[in-house]
Amino acid sequence: MTEVIRLGDIEIAVTRKLVKNVHLSVHPPAGKVTLVAPSGTRLEVARAYAISKLGWIREQQAKLLAQARETPRQFVERESHYLWGRRYLLSVIEKDARPSVTLDHRRIMLSVRPGSGLAKRQKVMLEWSRSLLREAVPTLIRKWEERLGVKVSGYFLQRMKTKWGSCNHRAGSIRLNSELVKKPKDLLEYVVVHEMLHLVEPTQCCIWSSRRIASASWRCSTSITQRGGKPVPS
């Protein structure tokens, strides 16, 4: 059963599960707040915890609002782009050769043919960023298949507005948000592991998360979902 805590103009949906710690999350796009507490936690205790985190909640909601207002990328010279949690400046090179993207320690260099418009530049960048995910994801899946005792039949990349990941338990596959390439790599690994745990037991993910991840010496805490307004995979 879900209960609601109201703190001024903020509503917090509270659920209780078989978890050891309280998990507080702010979800995009509208900044919805959820709190998952251990079974038996009194609502007054959950309220006190939420009050102690009120400043953090408002900060995350403000970040989500700022992200929603972010100017769409134009893929022009010296425009800011993010890769694995780091900010890079875009350098656009026009030459009569096959389009490509390369990276150095401070710049993303986009090479396109003269006259290439926004749509073409965006397509080249998108294909490149997804290729980076295709390099990173299989290694993470193989690493955690053995540790968690689960087999992933395949994975898919898709841009999603409200989730970092999802899974198809029957098919044994996982779906990942292509925007993860912009976030720190530890978030990508967390999402991959989270969705793989859903494949183990979809209705008991929180239990499996604490037991199996702990036995695999994996450090997984609320800090990864409480950093930078990141949504939680589901």
pLDDT one-digit tens code per residue, 107-142 = 999 999 999 999 999 999 999 999 999 999 999 999
Relative orientation angle of helices 185-200 and 205-215, to the nearest 10 degrees: 120
pLDDT one-digit tens code per residue, 171-228 = 999 999 999 999 889 889 989 998 998 888 765 444 334 344 444 433 333 333 333 3
Q: What percent of the chain has pLDDT over 70?
A: 84
CA distance linking residue 104 with residue 111, whole number of Å:
14
pTM comes to 0.66
Q: Which domains does the chain have, with CATH numbers?
A: 3-68 (no CATH), 80-224 (3.30.2010.10)
- Rounded (10°) CA dihedral 115, 119, 124, 128: 150
CB 79 within 8 A of CB 71: no
Relative orientation angle of helices 118-148 and 185-200, to the nearest 10 degrees: 50
Q: What percent of the chain has pLDDT over 90?
A: 66
